[in-house]
Structure 1
Amino acid sequence: MPRVVDHDQRRAQIARAFQRLLAAEGFAGVSFARVATEAGVSVGLIQHYFTGKDALLRFAYEDAVHRMSERVRLRVRNGEAAGLPIAEVLLDSLAELLPLDAEREVEYRARQGLQAQALNHAGLADVARRAGGDILGYVTRVVEDGMAHGEVESDVDAVPAARLILATTQGLADQVALSGPDAFSARDVLGRAIATVFTGSRDR
């Protein structure tokens, strides 16, 4: 019987090979030939799935964002199922944005490299805007949920509070990438930032 090819899996295989190269060497080290070698496929197969480099860049960016988002959602589901305080669930979920292990470091470096390209690339800019809007929307809803359950004061403006938390998260991610995951406790710092917004007691 002919082998059945999972096309989504093949696209992901190619995209993640691209991400690894981008994370390790930057754009100067990435070409279809290098990606093909890293993915264990032919250049022709890459061209079959992606019409050009722009298409590969966009898919790789979307894939990195999607995987990060899936981990965030898993943390939220697990935290809610365990009945954790909202602030603790938020901390656990946003820690997935920090490059604290090899997988998250590759994703962070790939996202950062592609986000930099988005300044001059309409397709990547669209991915960046949607990803930024999604994570801002998530944190804003969490702050509002905290207000409803007494963990956040009722007069807090949820959107600026969410932006403050996300700005801290991004800054910490940059510091971890430059200093290494063992240089300081990024979770502790992030927890302190979240605590400036989540100042109440749950279900007062």
Structure 2
Amino acid sequence: MPRVADHDQRRAQIARAFQRLLAAEGFAGVSFSRVAAEAGISVGLIQHYFTGKDALLRFAYEDAVSRMSRRVRARVHEGEAARLPTAEVLLASLAELLPLDEERNVEYRVRQGLQTQALPHTDLADVARKAGRDLLGYVTAAVGNGVRRGEVEPDVDAVLAARMILATTQGLADQVALSGADTFSAPDLLRRVITTVFADPSTRKTI
């Protein structure tokens, strides 16, 4: 019997080839012919799954965000199963946004590259906004959980604290990408910021 194509797997194969090219060469270096060569398939097959470059852009962006989100959720599940303090769970999960290895570096470059394309593309802007809202919601909920567990002072502004933590995370990601992970310890710096929210009551400062 002829093998039935796994369409989800094929779309992912095309998206990952696009992501690798985008990470290595930037948006200007990406075309259907380049993606086809990188994926080892024909241009016609790409056109079978994606009607144009904008459709591929959106799918590749959603794929990168989805993979990042799955790793974040996995870290949360592992931390909660081990009954770790909320701050430790938050640190482990947000470290997945830092380009500290090849996979995370590619995803970081893809997210940055596609975010620059989001302004003239409504669909991409919608994906970017949703990803940002989801991430802010997660960190805000983590701070709120810390309040309930007595790890955070009850008068801390959870949304403001979450924005501070996320701004630090993004800034550290940019610095790692520009200067390299070996020049400083990004997770240690991120831990310092998180512990300004999740800190010993005797030393904690209200945000």
Q: Same fold (TM over 0.5)?
A: yes
Tell me which residue corresponds to 1:32. Answer: 32
Tell me which residue corresponds to 2:6. Answer: 6
Instruction: Give the conservation status (yes or no) of the 8 Å contact 1:97–1:173.
Output: yes
Instruction: Give the conservation status (yes or no) of the 8 Å contact 1:150–1:200.
Output: no
Tell me which residue corresponds to 2:205. Answer: none
Instruction: Give the conservation status (yes or no) of the 8 Å contact 1:153–1:200.
Output: no
2:128 is aligned with 1:128:
yes
Q: Which amino acid aligns with 2:56?
A: L
The separation in 2 between residues aligned to 1:49 and 1:181, in whole angstroms, is: 37
The separation in 2 between residues aligned to 1:120 and 1:194, in whole angstroms, is: 35
Tell me which residue corresponds to 2:204. Answer: none
The secondary structure found in structure 1 opposite 2:181 is coil
- What is the aligned length? 201
Tell me which residue corresponds to 2:102. Answer: 102
The secondary structure found in structure 1 opposite 2:117 is helix
Tell me which residue corresponds to 1:48. Answer: 48
What CA deviation, in whole Å up to 9, does each residue of 1:104-144 have, x standing for no partner? 00000000000111122101000000000000000000000
The separation in 1 between residues aligned to 2:27 and 2:85, in whole angstroms, is: 42
What CA deviation, in whole Å up to 9, does each residue of 1:28-82 have, x standing for no partner? 2100000000011100000000000000000000000000000000000000001
Tell me which residue corresponds to 1:119. Answer: 119
| 1:27 shift after superposition | 1.0
State percent identity of aligned pairs: 79
What are the equivalent positions in structure 2 for 1:58-69 lying under 5 Å apart?
58-69=58-69
| 1:183 shift after superposition | 1.1
What CA deviation, in whole Å up to 9, does each residue of 1:73-103 have, x standing for no partner? 0000000001111000000000000000000
| 1:200 shift after superposition | 3.9
Tell me which residue corresponds to 2:80. Answer: 80
Tell me which residue corresponds to 1:160. Answer: 160
RMSD: 0.7
The secondary structure found in structure 2 opposite 1:182 is helix
Tell me which residue corresponds to 1:178. Answer: 178
Ranges of 4+ aligned residues in structure 1 off by more than 3 Å: none
The TM-score normalised by the length of structure 2 is 0.96
Q: Which amino acid aligns with 1:4?
A: V
Tell me which residue corresponds to 1:143. Answer: 143
Q: Which amino acid aligns with 2:97?
A: L
Structure 2, unpaired ranges of 5+: 202-207
The separation in 2 between residues aligned to 1:79 and 1:6, in whole angstroms, is: 34
The separation in 1 between residues aligned to 2:182 and 2:3, in whole angstroms, is: 45
The separation in 2 between residues aligned to 1:116 and 1:181, in whole angstroms, is: 24
Q: Which amino acid aligns with 2:60?
A: A
Q: Which amino acid aligns with 2:178?
A: L
Structure 1, unpaired ranges of 5+: none
